[in-house]
A and B are shown apart, each in its own frame.
Chain A
Amino acid sequence: MRRILLALTALTALSACGPKEPVVEAAPPAMRRLTEEQYRQVIADVFGDDIVIGGRFDPINRSNGLLAVGASSTAINGSAFERYDGLARSVASQVTDRANRDVLVPCKPADAAAADDACATTFFKNTGRLLYRRALTDAELKTQVALANAGATKLKDFYVGLSSSLSAMLVRPEFLFVTDTLEADPSKAGAFRLTPYAKAARVSFLLWNTTPDDALLTAAEKGDLNSSSGLKKQVDRMIASPRLAVGMRAFFNDMLAFDAFENLQKDPVIYPAFGLSAVELAREQILTTIIDQTVTTQGDYRNLFTTRKTVMSAPLGLVYRVPVSQPDGWVPYEFPEGDEHVGIQSFAGFVALFSHPGRSSATLRGKAVREILMCQKVPDPPSGVDFTLISDSHNPVYKTARERLKAHSTDPTCAGCHRIMDPIGLTLEHFDGAGQFRDDENGAAIDTSGELDGVAYTDAAGLGAALAKNAAVPACLVKRLYGYGTGRISTSAEKPILTYLEERFAKEGYRVPELLRDIALSDAFYQVAPAADAPKTASLEGGKP
């Protein structure tokens, strides 16, 4: 009775703030390959930060703006598996080596030079539950123990056997793919719902970008996640946790396409201040600013585009040409009034990422703002275009990017797209290809005026203000967060739930934790049905607690 009352209270609380959540059509289940960030986070959470994960991961295709969505269609082919196998052996070997075994293996074998059923069973029962995001079946547990025993016997070392068996677990699809498992929904005849374990994984990867912790798995096993109150209790706990910052950092890193920093290069002759350390710091500066303002202080998401507050480090101080008294680490910093560094879209990391190695690019920056911050697709450039009019940057007639692009836009096949990109990108032209401020280009003053969807401005601060007022910006965050959580492209049938979430986001002051709570507590987020081409006899055993 108490549970029902709590559930009703929760529902009332949700509905009291606005319209009722719309019912949406159930989507097919997703099978998402762990992203690199997820893999790293899971290993750190299960085995500790000391486990070194060296080497590269095979890339995941970005789809609809997110690696998290591309992960649902990216395969594990030969080269990817080979890398996972190498990573698995490295991780397993570290977990069982002499330095870590006493902490990470919760038992000691009777004889370290022989197989030990009991200790191997204990280890895999505990570890497997976290890695597979569910309890292991008896058959799975027996297989892991048998593998450990075979290795221990062959190589006369319990820990080597344990390591080889653990490496097998780390390359199993149950670990590498986060797969939605379904069960019949007892409340609706013929309908399905995510199993509690799958629900736990979905909410955990949304909020923390990692495997469910023990408390969440226990809640799943007890059936708590099938009740509104039980789910809310877990979601509230997770949103209140410091781990939310880690999860949101991963989300924004994905949404902003910051994986591209891994291959960002700036010409050291042209931009001597923007060395390799500055590249990584420039990314960190933006992510720290985002987390400080959206998670730590729970501010208005839109303020990210008008903020002057950030953090600064000594190497970045060289890029921004501001003094930083502390040689190591970060210090809080606020750009002074009049400075054009206003909003994350003007910070060195953003403008440098969307530039060429040796010069700025108004087009790339405008495209990034449209596609990444506003979720608007800019069409690919047409083929067969003669760019002769653009000429080179030393052309005495076309000294600035604005003049070159204006000449280029006289081509009607180019004009349409450049009209929506250039007035954004040209406003950021006071920042060169590495984000350093400049007044002129080739001796000609840079005109930074522009407009965004009818709102005119004269400089980067004006662009930031226009972005903050543009409805597409918060709507884009809603769309991306929802897609990030489900791992799929939002369908047209899901438009009502996105609209509903946008409205709630607005009413809640555009606070990201509240948006996360709305998503994680919505029915739609867990609405899944078997794939249309799945066997009609679809098993419902896969994810039962």
Chain B
Amino acid sequence: MSKLSRRSALKGLVNGTAVTVALPFLDCFLGGNGTALASGAPIPVRFGTWFWGLGFTPGRGVNLAKTGKDLAFLEECQALVPYKDQLSYFSNFNTPLDGKATTVHYTGWVAARTGSVPNTGGDLPAPTIDVLVGDHFGAGTRFRSIDLSCTGNPRDSYTGRNTGSRNAGEVSPLGMYTKVFGPEFADPNAATFTPDPNVMVRQSVLSAVGEQRTDLVKQLGAADKARLDEYFTSVRQLEQRLELQLQPPPKAEACRIAKSPGEQPMGTELESVLVNHELMSNMLAMAVACNQTRVFNMLYSQALSSLHRRGEAFIHHTLTHEEPLDPKLGYQAEVAWYNLRSFEAMATFIKAFASIKEGDGTLLDNTLIYANSDTNFAKLHALDGIPVFLIGKAGGKVKTGYHIPGGGDPISRIGLTVQHAMGMEVDKWGTQSMQTSKPIAELLV
């Protein structure tokens, strides 16, 4: 890594003149654990989440009798077979409630993502794991996080810092394209770079906004002060992003500019969801490869999944409760059909990352994806054994291809493991009975 600081390297280059410079990677991309590009430059590690609602049918997802390297997928998870060696599955990790009431289709995903059981529906008692990892990564990419939802509703996004600070999802493929690959996108592999003077003005405007403190704070209570603090943090984040836009972006060998997806129908009709999910998955993977973000969240279906097929009266969620068990099959056939689609979608998402070559491996090798649902057996709202997958090798920091049975341990152990894999110095994570200081050591390299 060059000793040349980025600021000094760029000094004098931001007056609108086209320049050609070979730039070092930003320090903050590295985290000390990246592998290397062909050029020898280290590759950043990324983290993201993928969510699907309503779990799967017990006995039809993963063979619980096969543990360790014998991970074996059953009917509903067949789409994951090609990626068996690139992910691990976690069974029988539980959600102890400590006497709190369950809010169905809510408590489960919150506990799995925050290490804490919510007090009520709507309560987000702690930051979700992607927010913690994002804080650890800090600034350094255009977007602190790219959050996507395939249901057409920005509220369907399971990421946030607290109850009052939830990250809304981008719901439109075209909206995502415009945001990431639109006019403000700077091709990292372009031969020349011309800083935009309008961005300079914007940056100075935001700088003024951030520096100008407000008298409002003087009469407010702690909660409102915290909201103002978050506001000013947000201003600084955008200002830093603009600062990055004034600098030539670091090279990204795997980066290819995505094509515009055009206007797409949105909503919870399954056909639309599948199309939008695939479009956004591919664009997201390329956005990550182009160093636009190191953190991302993708929601395929809500916890109370309202996915439905055109012409069918029942949505996925109501089917899980109201469809009778097929006496011959021994399970809910319609629900199983939806579950199959969920894991096909998960495979589509994995493929998007696995098919991008990066360094000696793939983008997936340098990424860790925490994929979870809200419940185990949706028919009974089962919170114990919520299915969780860790996908990707996190730049070589985690082993893959395992089935790890939890033996009833709190589900927060998986989240703690993620944080260790991301290089975070965290001794313990979670609250009350969910608090744990035991990462899954056998998975960490």
Contacts and interface: CB of A to CB of B under 8 A. Distances in A.
Q: Do A and B interact?
A: yes
Interface of A: 28-29, 31, 56, 58-59, 61, 63, 73-82, 85, 89, 140, 143, 146-147, 150-151, 154-155, 160, 164-165, 167-168, 171-174, 176-177, 179-182, 263, 265, 267-270, 356-359, 380-388, 390-393, 395, 404, 433, 530-535, 538-542
A31 B269 contact: no
A542 B219 contact: yes
Contact of A59 (B122, B155, B202, B238): B155
Interface of B: 101-104, 121-122, 144-145, 147, 152-155, 160-168, 171, 175, 197-198, 200-202, 204-206, 208-209, 212, 214-216, 218-224, 226-228, 230-231, 233-235, 237-238, 267-269, 306, 308, 310-315, 318, 321-325, 379-383
A59 B168 contact: yes
A171 B209 contact: yes
27 contacts: A28-B221, A31-B216, A59-B155, A73-B163, A78-B144, A78-B234, A81-B238, A147-B204, A167-B205, A179-B220, A263-B153, A356-B313, A357-B306, A357-B308, A358-B315, A359-B314, A380-B101, A384-B380, A384-B382, A385-B380, A387-B322, A390-B322, A391-B322, A391-B324, A392-B322, A531-B224, A535-B218
Most buried by B among A89, A267, A540: A267
A381 to B, nearest CB: 6
Given A78-B234, A164-B201, A167-B205, A531 B219 contact: yes
Given A384-B380, A538-B219, A267 B324 contact: no
Given A81-B235, A177-B216, A61 B227 contact: no
A290 B144 CA distance: 44
Contacts of A160: 201
A179 B216 contact: yes
A81 B312 contact: no
A132 to B, nearest CB: 11
Contact of B215 (A147, A385, A539): A539
Given A173-B231, A265-B267, A385 B381 contact: yes
A66 B144 CA distance: 30
A351 B238 CA distance: 43
Most buried by A among B101, B164, B379: B164
B220 A534 contact: yes
A151 B205 contact: yes
Given A384-B381, A391-B322, A263 B227 contact: no
Contact of B314 (A356, A380, A387): A356
Nearest to B156: A263
Nearest to A532: B221
Contact of A386 (B164, B314, B379): B379
Contacts of B231: 75-76, 81, 173, 176
A182 B219 contact: yes
Given A268-B310, A533-B222, A75 B216 contact: no
A387 B379 contact: yes
B209 A172 contact: yes
Contact of A539 (B205, B218, B321): B218
A541 B217 CA distance: 11
B325 A155 contact: no
A28 B152 CA distance: 37
Contacts of A539: 215, 218-219
A155 to B, nearest CB: 6
A108 to B, nearest CB: 22
A174 B219 contact: no
A252 B234 CA distance: 32
B221 A168 contact: no
Contact of B230 (A77, A180, A269, A388): A77
A91 to B, nearest CB: 14
Contacts of B235: 81, 171
Contact of A267 (B312, B325, B383): B312
Contacts of A359: 313-314
B168 A75 contact: no
A82 B155 contact: no
Nearest to B161: A77
A307 B233 CA distance: 51
Contact of A383 (B104, B198, B214): B104
A381 B320 CA distance: 15
Contacts of A395: 324
Most buried by A among B216, B219, B315, B379: B219
Nearest to B179: A82
Most buried by A among B166, B206, B237: B166
B166 A154 contact: no
A246 to B, nearest CB: 25
A181 B220 CA distance: 9
A73 B165 CA distance: 9
Given A357-B268, A534-B219, A392 B314 contact: yes
A165 B212 contact: no
A358 B383 contact: no
A204 B26 CA distance: 50
B102 A383 contact: yes
Contacts of B379: 386-387
Given A154-B201, A269-B310, A174 B216 contact: yes
A268 to B, nearest CB: 7
A155 B154 contact: no
B339 to A, nearest CB: 17
A538 B218 contact: yes
Nearest to A538: B219
Contacts of A63: 122
A63 B223 CA distance: 16
A160 B202 CA distance: 11
A544 to B, nearest CB: 10
Contacts of B221: 28, 531-534
Given A391-B322, A542-B216, 13 more contacts: A61-B163, A76-B234, A77-B165, A77-B167, A154-B197, A160-B201, A171-B206, A267-B311, A358-B311, A393-B314, A533-B221, A538-B218, A538-B219
Contacts of A140: 212
Given A82-B238, A182-B219, A539-B215, A168 B205 contact: yes
Contacts of B321: 387, 390
Contacts of A56: 154, 168, 171, 175
Contacts of A386: 379-380
Nearest to A183: B219
B234 A173 contact: no
Given A154-B197, A391-B324, A392-B314, A265 B234 contact: no
A61 B166 contact: yes
A535 B228 CA distance: 15
Nearest to B151: A263
A80 B234 contact: yes
A75 B314 contact: no
Most buried by A among B103, B228, B322: B322
Contacts of B153: 263
Contacts of A540: 219
A481 to B, nearest CB: 23
A359 B315 CA distance: 9
A533 B163 CA distance: 20
Given A78-B234, A79-B167, A81-B231, A358 B216 contact: no
B324 A168 contact: no
Given A387-B379, A531-B224, A164 B216 contact: no
B378 to A, nearest CB: 11
Contacts of A59: 154-155, 166, 168
Contacts of B161: 75, 77
A538 B220 CA distance: 8
A534 B227 CA distance: 14
Most buried by B among A75, A172, A179, A530: A75
Contacts of A390: 321-322
Contact of A263 (B152, B164, B206, B382): B152
Contact of B308 (A89, A267, A538): A267
A155 B202 CA distance: 12
B208 A265 contact: no
